[in-house]
Amino acid sequence: MNPSLEIDIKNLLRPHIRDLVPYSSARDEYTGKVGVFLDANENPEGSVIAGKHNRYPDPLQRELKARIAEIKGVHPERIFLGNGSDEAIDLLFRAFCEPGKDKVLLLPPTYGMYKVSAAINGVEIENVPLTKDYQIDLGAVLNKIDTVQPKLIFLCSPNNPTGNTLSRDAMRSVIERASGLVIVDEAYVDFSSEGSLLQADLTNYHNLMVLQTFSKAWGLANLRVGMAFADPAIIAVLNKIKAPYNLSGVTQDLALEAVNKHEAKNKMVSEILANREWLKNELKEIPLVEHIYPTEANFLLVKVPDADELYSRLIGDKIIVRNRSRVQNCEGCLRISVGTREENEQLIDALKLLS
Ligand SMILES: *Cc1c(COP(=O)(O)O)cnc(C)c1O
């Protein structure tokens, strides 16, 4: 696709989604805050618990988006907020992929939700595995784009479960060749020294979507807030098909409080990065550890002689890591999240005893 061209969103969309007339909620039709609200069959008396939860929330989360727009330097019309990034991933399949007909392209080993969402939606996957050092096999990917014309291509950078970032030039080559959308999942971008594609590339590429989340660096996995950034035409489609009140008002209020604490997030990230270095250095000294893969995320992929065995023995010590040894190209690997200093010490002590 020529990046200077407008995206032909109408041709990419499933026909019935293109023609869909969305549900119009009461709070879509009147957006003022002051008034006598007799439009939504809410309880006018209040709530049965402390706090005022009796009114439906803003379906488009305007206040929160305005603040996110400021800190990210992105126009609010380019922002979609979902119940985790996983909601945005699912909506993309539902909007763009005709079951049994359209295809999507994955570069395994990568985040498991892309495959699960494809399966739930009955959409066929084409795989072009990452190279031995977990980079994009560019020749093979470009070839696959030309032969199967995938509607969606998922790139994860830093990649889960491998931890490395993907080459920015290679990602741009994929975006430029793609005939559909390219989704760059940046869930771990705050831990990376590479930075985001958001500021550099979002307005250049009409077929690019960048995913970020409050679940990792912001420490808000329990809230379930994911961000998708893209061309306003793509964002409008997601808004059209999402559940009307997909983010609760409580969630919106807490996320708004969080974005105003940008500094606290940065401080925690620095702490986690320091602990990541400590953990990496300690793991290097453990005889059981064969290899530690380079990481730009808040976890380490580690190769050991018998991953299943070590995983079970760590469970015996009530230390839970992620066994990735049955993932293709991650054979023998455990994925270890960076914990607090004390948690990391417990892990290291346990590994020393098991070695
Ligand atoms: C953790 C993670 C997410 C976050 O998902 P949420 O639904 O926002 O919690 C997204 N992508 C990847 C690759 C992840 O590892």
Tell me the three state secondary structure of residue 198: helix
State residue 33's pLDDT score.
82
Q: What is the pTM of this model?
A: 0.96
Q: Is residue 232 reached through a cis peptide bond, with omega within 30 degrees of 0 on the bond before it?
A: no
Looking at residue 189, its pLDDT comes to: 98
* Interval between CA 210 and ligand 1 midpoint (Å): 12
CA 95 remoteness from chain centre? 18
C-alpha span between 99 and 104 (Å, rounded): 11
Q: What is the pLDDT of residue 4?
A: 45
Pocket test for ligand 1, best of 165, 212, 213 (most atoms within 8 A of CB): 213
Contact at 8 Å (CB) between 79 and 68? yes
Residue 25: the pLDDT is: 79
pLDDT at residue number 1: 46
Q: If you measure from the C-alpha of residue 315 to the centroid of ligand 1, how many angstroms do you get, rounded to a whole number?
A: 24
Q: Measured between alpha carbons, how far is 284 from 12 in angstroms, rounded to an integer?
A: 48
Burial class (CB within 10 angstroms; exposed 0-12, middle 13-18, buried 19+) of 262: exposed
111 DSSP β-pair partners: none
Cβ atoms of 318 and 312 closer than 8 Å = no
**What is the per-residue pLDDT for 71?**
95
Q: Is the CB of 161 under 6 A from ligand 1?
A: no
- The pLDDT score that the predictor gives to residue 5 is 54
Tell me if 159 CB under 6 Å of ligand 1.
Answer: no
Which amino acid is present at 113? M
90 CB near ligand 1 (under 6 Å): no
Note whether 83 and 244 are within 8 A (CB): no
In this structure, which residue's CA is closest to atom 14 in ligand 1? Answer: 187
Ligand 1 centroid to residue 85 C-alpha, Å: 6
| Residue whose CA is at the smallest distance from ligand 1 atom 6 | 84
Model pLDDT, residue 302? 98
Q: Which ligand 1 atom minimizes the distance to the CA of 215?
A: 9
Residue to mutate, 160, 214, 251, 301, ligand 1, most ligand atoms under 8 Å from C-beta:
160
Query: Per the structure block, which two tokens stand in for 6?
Result: 């407008």
Query: Which of 230, 184, 174 minimizes the C-alpha distance to 204?
Result: 230
Q: What is the pLDDT of residues 313-344, one digit of tens each?
A: 999 999 999 999 999 999 999 999 999 999 99
- Spell out, as residue ranges, where the chain has pLDDT lower than 70: 1-7
Q: Which string of DSSP letters, residue by residue, matches 210-268?
A: EEEESSSTTS-TTT--EEEE--HHHHHHHHHHS-TT-S-HHHHHHHHHHHTTHHHHHHH
Written as one letter, the residue type at 37 is: F
